[in-house]
Amino acid sequence: MTSWVSYAWLGAMAIYVGLALLSGLPVLSAIFRKIELHPGGPAFDKSIHFSEPAREKLHQHYQRIQGTLAFWKKQAEKYKRAHYYCLFWTIPSAVVIPFLVQASSNNPIAKWLITIISAYSAILLALHRALKIAENYRAFREGESNFYDTYRRMLDRPYTFGDTENAQLDRYFDEVENLRKFVRNAETDNTPSLEQAKSQVSNEKPAPKLTRE
């Protein structure tokens, strides 16, 4: 019976490690895949609200910022997936571990399973805090969303930017520039130093191994 119990715990350990690795593939995919921007319908080059020189300026401006938009989109998707991955593996672990402790019956393989779950949860929490994953996801997602809101407003309601065409262009360019500064400042503020990362890792300690009394 003992051997079967040990095999059951060993199987549970293999399932946990396998699921943790497989569910991390979407995060790796977001890191390494190439992001392409999807066209959102008629753009500035077909706008009826502007003169030909103004349309050319707006079109060139959008062409120059496309690289930044692709970077924001990739970063937002990467941090979003990492954020939910951490939540998915840390919250259930906090609930499951007490029940595993009660069911372990001092089985050595069960102790290793509990240690692995505790250690992995601690590592994920430390990385989530040290890399400021939630804050970075929010900053890049808000920057991306705010840009497209401004972009669509310029396309549909340019009069909200000013009374004349030159005033509208200047105001639009200023708002986009301010958005870029906002995201850049948020990115640098959310970049942890080596000392902060070490502090977070040292503060997240796995649960101690169970010992026979």
The answer to whether residue 79 scores a pLDDT higher than 90 is yes
What's the rounded Cα separation, in Å, for the pair 131 and 108? 34
Q: How would you class 136 by CB atoms within 10 Å of its CB: exposed for 0-12, middle for 13-18, buried for 19 or more?
A: buried
Quote the pTM value. 0.79
| Amino acid type, 104 | S
DSSP string, 153-200: HHHH-GGGG-SSHHHHHHHHHHHHHHHHHHHHHHHHHT---HHHHHHH
Domain ranges of the chain: 2-34+43-203
Query: Which stretch of 38-47, 77-86, 94-103, 164-173 has the lowest confidence by average pLDDT?
Result: 38-47
Look at residue 120 and tell me whether its pLDDT is greater than 80. yes
Q: What is the pLDDT of residues 19-29, one digit of tens each?
A: 999 999 999 99
Segment 118-143 shows an average pLDDT of: 92
**Interval 187-213: pLDDT, tens:** 888 765 545 545 554 555 444 444 443
Mean pLDDT value of segment 162-168: 93
User: Is residue 85 a contact partner of residue 125, using CB atoms and an 8 Å limit?
Assistant: no
Alpha carbon distance 46, 52 (integer Å): 10
Mean pLDDT, to the nearest integer, of 155-167?
92
Residues 36-41 have a mean pLDDT of 72
The confidence score (pLDDT) of residue 207 equals: 45
CA–CA gap between residue 164 and residue 175 (Å, rounded): 17
Q: In the prediction, which pLDDT does 125 show?
A: 92
Q: Supply the mean pLDDT for the chain.
A: 85
What mean pLDDT comes out for the span 71-93?
Answer: 93
Indicate the pLDDT class of residue 94, thresholds 50, 70 and 90. Answer: confident
